[in-house]
Chain A
Amino acid sequence: MAGESDLFFIEQGKKRPHEEAVARVVGSTFEKMGFMEARLTDEEPPPSNSITTVMEILSPVQTRMFFSAPEHLGWSIAENLYGLEDLTMEAVGDMMKELLNTITGGLLSELMPDTPFTLSIPTLCEDTQAGVGKTFVYHFNIDNKGIVTMILCGNDP
């Protein structure tokens, strides 16, 4: 279990700290909410228009998480999750925010099961402006339909 100030640094030296926990939480979220498989991959998504959401972890650590998906994949995930085809961009953005919220809460619950935490409300953003600190990037292949990106920002400058 991670300490309070070193949530993403307890496994220093690793390219992707807490890789198994992140993979488990993202996999479970996609499986339960969208009946889709999310597989951790070293592939990077090709350049495309993306939908990106961000949320802050306010306590016990101060850090930030981003979640990004190519637009076409965002629509595809939303169709699966809602079970509808006549979606709007607003609905797709709303779904991206809920996925990030669920993944972030799930990850913190797994890494710090006995520690209360506070999160901000997720919002849409233009880009993954990570800010200060080290960042860790995780890509997930979603049902071979495309790649989503999760970015965890560390809190050391």
Chain B
Amino acid sequence: MPMRILIVDDTTTARIFAKKCLTNIGLHDAEFMQAVHGIDALEKIRETPPDLILTDLMMPEMDGETFLKTLKEDPDLQHIPVLVVSSAGNMARRDALLAMGALDVLPKPFSTTEIYDVLKSFVQAEEDDDGWGE
């Protein structure tokens, strides 16, 4: 069963770039879902829960911080790991986001090496013969 990854960002460029990086680090068999803000993401997650979420912070309608908080307060969804990927995620914000339950906070721009370092356990699980989520 392929890993399902949701990318939440209001710009197409950022979503394409994130998908390209994830594919480059070995998650090429993953099924990618996309959302343009937090509300859109929550709707998609409730319909089809992903195994991993990448989210931006600055988005219209519902920003990434509110989205993360809402997700982590929902007993049915709080187990889903959320990587925050944002240009607004400096060290001052990082601690608060980690305390809210973010897997990690990666500042933009990030390289494939940097995102691999954060997600290597997911890549290894995907490469495992047993597959993801079985």
Determine whether the beta carbon of A105 is less than 8 Å from that of B86: yes
Residue of B at shortest CB range from A118? B88
Question: Once the chains are docked, how many angstroms separate the CA of A119 from the CA of B93?
Answer: 13
Q: Is there a chain B Cβ closer than 8 Å to A82's Cβ? A: yes
Determine whether the beta carbon of B87 is less than 8 Å from that of A33: no
Residues of A within 8 A of B92 (CB): 113-117
Asked whether A29 and B109 contact (CB < 8 A) given A82-B13, A119-B58, the answer is yes
Residues of A within 8 A of B14 (CB): 98
Determine whether the beta carbon of B17 is less than 8 Å from that of A81: yes
Chain A residues within CB distance 8 Å of chain B: 28-29, 32-33, 81-83, 91, 94-95, 97-99, 101-106, 108-109, 112-119, 121
B29-65 vs A: 1/0 string, CB under 8 Å? Answer: 0000000000000000000000000000011100000
Chain B residues within CB distance 8 Å of chain A: 10-14, 16-17, 20, 58-60, 86-93, 107-111
Asked whether A95 and B93 contact (CB < 8 A) given A105-B88, A106-B87, the answer is no
Asked whether A114 and B91 contact (CB < 8 A) given A91-B13, A98-B14, the answer is yes
Question: Once the chains are docked, how many angstroms separate the CA of A102 from the CA of B128?
Answer: 34
Residue of A at shortest CB range from B114? A32
**Which of B10, B11, B90, B109 has a CB less than 8 Å from the CB of A32?**
B109
Determine whether the beta carbon of A106 is less than 8 Å from that of B60: no
Determine whether the beta carbon of A108 is less than 8 Å from that of B90: yes
Residues of B within 8 A of A119 (CB): 58, 87-88
Determine whether the beta carbon of A106 is less than 8 Å from that of B12: no
Determine whether the beta carbon of B13 is less than 8 Å from that of A106: no
23 contacts between A and B (CB under 8 A): A32-B111, A33-B109, A94-B11, A97-B11, A97-B13, A98-B13, A99-B13, A101-B58, A101-B108, A105-B88, A105-B89, A106-B108, A106-B109, A108-B90, A109-B87, A112-B90, A115-B90, A116-B90, A116-B92, A116-B93, A118-B88, A119-B88, A121-B10
Question: Once the chains are docked, how many angstroms separate the CA of A113 from the CA of B93?
Answer: 10
Give, as a whole number of angstroms, the nearest-CB distance from A98 to chain B.
4
**Which of A91, A102, A114 has a CB less than 8 Å from the CB of B109?**
A102
